[in-house]
Amino acid sequence: MSFLSEKLSRIQPSPTIAVTQMARDLKAAGRDVIGLGAGEPDFDTPDHIKVAAKLAIDRGDTKYTSVEGTPSLKEAICSKFSRENGIKYETDQVIVGTGGKQIIYNAMMATLDAGDEVIIPRPYWVSYPDIVLLAGGKPVLVETSLSNGFKLRAKDLEDAITDRTKWVILNSPGNPSGAAYTKSEMTALTDIIKQYQRVWILADDIYEHLLYDGQEFVTPGVVAPSLLDRVLTMNGVSKAYAMTGWRIGYGGGPIPLIRAMAKLQGQSTSNPSSISQAAAVEALNGPQEFLNGWRTSFTERRNLVVNMLNEVDGISCPLPQGAFYVFPSCAGLIGRKVSDGKALETDTDVVTYFLERAGVAVVQGTAFGLAPHFRVSYAASTKNLEEACRRIRTACEELS
């Protein structure tokens, strides 16, 4: 009998975290590695947000807070939902967690029983299926295609719904493909879900502010307000405000669900860091103008990486609409041989080759459920992105 639980055996270590750690370790060991694995902005947390955290420490905001978040952060979250999305949540309809990941985890743990199904469009963020599995549910992975911009089609969604479907996870702009749904595409999906009373939507809006080329952000609770009694709208400050390490995510939804999530959180981590919560209040209530400048930088970096990767023979890189990832196909590299005569057989071989030969850390598409692809985070300096793409190109030219 194993000391470790059966539930642990259902999941894998997070591949995005594994690649990031590997790059960190190699750098610490003196290797010249450009890490484009992690999904985190390279910008520093803005000063006004840091000042708010320092003031919180000096004020003595260093004690437990309510499990589901401080009143001031919950009010800031309600204002954000109202101001930016037009969704009216009351403070008892929101909960703050230690990162967006905990919000998803709480929601799944609080609602799934053995055999309950969760529809997840593929490619997906690495942790969705594993969180569902850990909670005892069954991930139902639904194909999307490049020709449809990696977006779920209404018919494919409907075909995947069964009597056991409890949730559909929608992530727009999406990780890893950057796919962003238009209003009509999102409405087509919510129209289907309206017909199935038992099905809830988890809207992962963490990349809301990272949307390019003038595309409008849409979320299920806005296009289908009548569904709000079965939508959990998840968001956080990590990606938008360069606050990944502060670990603040939040969700808005119906009171019974929020209470259930708070009950679970109260028996696990309790409140998220009181200091981080104070910083998040400032992030949400403070100036927002700087986000336009960041968006412009991300747009330029996206264009640079897409153009440079498309010049590499064997790589084909679509132009994503949002988030800060590109998700190229490396089908053209499969079968090519490295110097010792060994062929690259999978996208995992390709990314291992990029790391070893080019010193560039990216994540294999297999981790996101779609191969042969790889994900590049372009939340890095232009200099590093140019150098990484040049190195990838050279490494690919060395293949035979």
| Closer to ligand GLU by Cβ: residue 41 or 314 | 41
The footprint of ligand GLU on residues 66-125 (CB under 6 A) is: 101, 125
Q: Which two tokens stand for residue 389?
A: 């793409």
Binding letters toward ligand GLU, positions 248-287, x by CB under 6 A:
----------------------------------------
Cis peptide bond N-terminal to 46, omega within 30: no
| Closer to ligand GLU by Cβ: residue 93 or 127 | 127
Among positions 35, 36, 39, 308, the unique one binding ligand GLU when judged by CB under 6 A: 39
The footprint of ligand GLU on residues 174-213 (CB under 6 A) is: 175
- The nearest distance, CB 400 to ligand GLU, in angstroms, is 33
Size of the site for ligand GLU (CB under 6 A): 10
Nearest to 107 by CA among 208, 243, 256, 236: 256
The footprint of ligand GLU on residues 148-177 (CB under 6 A) is: 175
Q: Which helix (H) or strand (E) holds 166?
A: strand 165-171
- The nearest distance, CB 98 to ligand GLU, in angstroms, is 12
- The nearest distance, CB 160 to ligand GLU, in angstroms, is 23
Among positions 7, 9, 12, 17, the unique one binding ligand GLU when judged by CB under 6 A: 17
Among positions 10, 14, 22, 27, the unique one binding ligand GLU when judged by CB under 6 A: 14
| Closer to ligand GLU by Cβ: residue 16 or 93 | 16
- The nearest distance, CB 39 to ligand GLU, in angstroms, is 3
- The nearest distance, CB 183 to ligand GLU, in angstroms, is 25
| Closer to ligand GLU by Cβ: residue 193 or 380 | 380
- The nearest distance, CB 19 to ligand GLU, in angstroms, is 8
Stretch that binds ligand GLU, among 14-22, 154-162, 276-284, 287-295 (CB under 6 A): 14-22
| Closer to ligand GLU by Cβ: residue 17 or 51 | 17
Angle at 14 between CA 364 and CA 68, to 5 degrees: 135
38 contributes a contact to ligand GLU by CB under 6 A: yes
- Cα–Cα distances in Å, from 92 out to 106, 173, 174, 308, 396? 16, 27, 28, 48, 54
Among positions 56, 95, 109, 126, the unique one binding ligand GLU when judged by CB under 6 A: 126
Nearest to 291 by CA among 167, 208, 191: 208
Pair 378, 300: CB distance under 8 Å: no
- The nearest distance, CB 105 to ligand GLU, in angstroms, is 11
Pair 144, 154: CB distance under 8 Å: no
Q: Which two tokens stand for residue 10?
A: 């259902």
Nearest position to ligand GLU, beta carbon: 39
- CA dihedral angle for residue 174, residue 180, residue 186, residue 190, rounded to 10 degrees: 0
- The nearest distance, CB 253 to ligand GLU, in angstroms, is 21
- The nearest distance, CB 127 to ligand GLU, in angstroms, is 6
C-alpha–C-alpha distance, residues 156 and 170, integer Å: 14
C-alpha–C-alpha distance, residues 235 and 204, integer Å: 6
Supply the Cα-derived Rg of the chain in whole angstroms. Answer: 21
- Cα–Cα distances in Å, from 137 out to 116, 162, 184, 253, 306? 5, 14, 30, 21, 37
Q: Which helix (H) or strand (E) holds 154?
A: helix 154-160
Q: Which two tokens stand for residue 69?
A: 């978040």
| Closer to ligand GLU by Cβ: residue 52 or 104 | 104
C-alpha–C-alpha distance, residues 166 and 138, integer Å: 10
Stretch that binds ligand GLU, among 11-19, 62-70, 147-155, 250-258 (CB under 6 A): 11-19
| Burial of 364 per CB tally in 10 Å (0-12, 13-18, 19+) | buried
C-alpha–C-alpha distance, residues 392 and 400, integer Å: 15
Among positions 16, 70, 144, 172, the unique one binding ligand GLU when judged by CB under 6 A: 16
| Closer to ligand GLU by Cβ: residue 128 or 212 | 128
Binding site for ligand GLU (CB under 6 A): 14, 16-17, 38-39, 101, 125-127, 175
